[in-house]
Amino acid sequence: MTGSALSSPAIRVPSLTVETAETPDLGPLVPMLDRRHPLLWMRRGFGLVGLGEALRLEFRGPTRITDASAAWQRVVAAATVIDPLARTGTGLIAMGSFAFSDHSAETSVLIVPALVIGRDKDQSWVTRIGVGELASPSIPAIDPVDDPVRVAFEPGSMSPDDYRAAVASTVSRIRGHQLSKAVLAREIVGRFPDDADLRSPIAALALGYPDCWTFSVDGFIGSSPETLVSVDDGSVSARVLAGSAARGTDERSDQDAATALATSTKDQDEHQFAVQSVLASLRAHSPNVTASELPFTLKLPNLWHLASDVDGDLTDGSTSLDLIAALHPTAAVAGTPTGDALRLIDELEPFDRGRYAGPVGWVGADGDGEWAIALRSAQVSPDGRITAYAGAGIVAESIPERELLETRMKFRPIAEAFAG
């Protein structure tokens, strides 16, 4: 069922029956995933596993997120929900991933699992979801994750030389005052064997990047450090990342790298474009929204990021889907001004970003949810083709070779996860 079809009043919305119950802790989430069709949203070992599909909604085009928001409201209105726990992640939920571009050939999806297993530090639960009379899918037995299969990646449609040239062209246009910032990405490609366990690279990402959002939705997997938006009981928050540097080789050089990043005019400028983009998008929904006074350095296993946290209170009843529609694309993944940056991306990137740098996460029946920007990610197609993506923010001071090296750093999580 597509989003456009569901948005028509003539189409009957399926009546879902939903029942949540507390359960003893079932243990680590990744071994409970489907080997070939994993659905996951997790950080620090806590989160949501989805099994099966009670309902799948697909969307395309410029209105894909607003269509999804309208469709979700109709699904919720028609559902019968028994949820005695009534806490974040219980009851009716959908896990979703949206394409970056209005013109992408990749579908955007909301998937309502038939079975949801949830786990946080205080409680574990199981939610069963069915159309009409409630089915009772069984909780899967723990299935050990297979050893990793080593995947070799090679450049995609944009060679390193092509990327350097695109960066140089972008810098020239920025210095010519055509725009202030643009984020340029490139891709690498590999092949995943038909009989391989897709939980293996997911487990590697979760283990290597526990403080990131590790996700898997419709073959799209990754570990993102950037929270696009989180909505919980009337509060809204986000974490903005822009500006990065490689980790040092020892304690002294590592601290020097963090200090250099924190004092870099180029990276501070890039970061402020991203923060102001988020604040401007949220103020219509949260007039009191504020960002941390100064960005802080966020340490990840492979690099340092400049980061700012954003917080506010919603005043207009917006859902998390409404907010990702307002926020996407941020300056952190597109540029400034947004329209000019998107036109430049369309001109200089010879590939479809698909769901890379789009919103990925989940939404509940009350509209609350958690959404990340899909970074450090790869799409695994049904035919086994893997396409991984990485980008860098280009400003007037950018140097092509350094921006290429930054993309190589950002490819590391996916490349290492698939390399075993």
Q: What is the pLDDT of residues 345-372, one digit of tens each?
A: 999 999 999 999 999 999 999 999 999 9
Greater pLDDT, 317 or 407: 407
Q: Judge whether residue 10 has pLDDT over 50.
A: no
| CA dist 144 → 27, 77, 116, 219 (Å) | 12, 39, 19, 20
Greater pLDDT, 316 or 41: 41
Q: Judge whether residue 246 has pLDDT over 90.
A: no
Tokens at residue 301, please?
């296993």
Q: CA-CA distance, 315 to 323, in Å (whole number)?
A: 12
- Mean pLDDT for the stretch of residues 300-307: 87
Q: CA-CA distance, 265 to 271, in Å (whole number)?
A: 10
Q: CATH number of the domain at 166, please.
A: 3.60.120.10
Q: Judge whether residue 127 has pLDDT over 90.
A: yes
Cis previous bond, 113, omega within 30:
no
Pairing outcome for strands 377-380 and 385-394: antiparallel
Question: Are the CB atoms for 223 and 213 separated by under 8 Å?
Answer: yes
324 in the Ramachandran plot: left (φ > 0), alpha (ψ -120 to 50) or beta? alpha
Residue 186 included in any domain: yes
Pairing outcome for strands 181-191 and 385-394: antiparallel
**Which of 6-15, 20-29, 77-86 is predicted least confidently?**
6-15
Per-residue confidence (pLDDT) for residue 12, from 0 to 100: 66
pLDDT band at 134 (very low <50, low <70, confident <90, very high): low
Q: Judge whether residue 103 has pLDDT over 90.
A: yes
- Quick one: CA torsion of 28, 34, 39, 45, rounded to 10 degrees? 10
Residue 145 included in any domain: no
Question: Are the CB atoms for 17 and 79 separated by under 8 Å?
Answer: yes
Per-residue confidence (pLDDT) for residue 285, from 0 to 100: 93
Q: CA-CA distance, 288 to 226, in Å (whole number)?
A: 22
- Mean pLDDT for the stretch of residues 145-171: 95
Among residues 65, 58, 33, 69, the alpha carbon closest in space to that of 48 is found at 33
Q: CA-CA distance, 407 to 412, in Å (whole number)?
A: 9
Q: Judge whether residue 11 has pLDDT over 90.
A: no
400 burial (CB, 10 Å; 0-12 / 13-18 / 19+) is buried
Per-residue confidence (pLDDT) for residue 3, from 0 to 100: 38
Angle formed at CA 234 by CA 231 and CA 236, multiple of 5 degrees: 40
Per-residue confidence (pLDDT) for residue 135, from 0 to 100: 62
pLDDT tens readout for residues 197-239: 999 999 999 999 999 999 999 999 999 998 999 999 889 999 9
The model carries a pTM of 0.91
53 burial (CB, 10 Å; 0-12 / 13-18 / 19+) is middle
Per-residue confidence (pLDDT) for residue 2, from 0 to 100: 39
Q: Judge whether residue 264 has pLDDT over 70.
A: yes
Total number of domains in the chain: 1
**Which of 48-52, 139-143, 311-315 is predicted least confidently?**
139-143
Residue 368 included in any domain: yes
- Tell me the average pLDDT of the chain: 92
Residue 143 included in any domain: no
Which residues make Cβ contacts (< 8 Å) with residue 267, sequence separation at least 6?
242, 243, 244, 245, 261, 306
Domain of 295 in residue numbering reads as: 3-138+150-419
Question: Which letter does DSSP use for residue 88 in this model?
Answer: T
Q: CA-CA distance, 364 to 352, in Å (whole number)?
A: 29
Question: Are the CB atoms for 117 and 51 separated by under 8 Å?
Answer: yes
Q: Judge whether residue 24 has pLDDT over 80.
A: yes
Percent of the chain with pLDDT over 90: 76
Residue 162 included in any domain: yes
- Mean pLDDT for the stretch of residues 315-335: 93
Q: Judge whether residue 5 has pLDDT over 50.
A: no
Residue 144 included in any domain: no
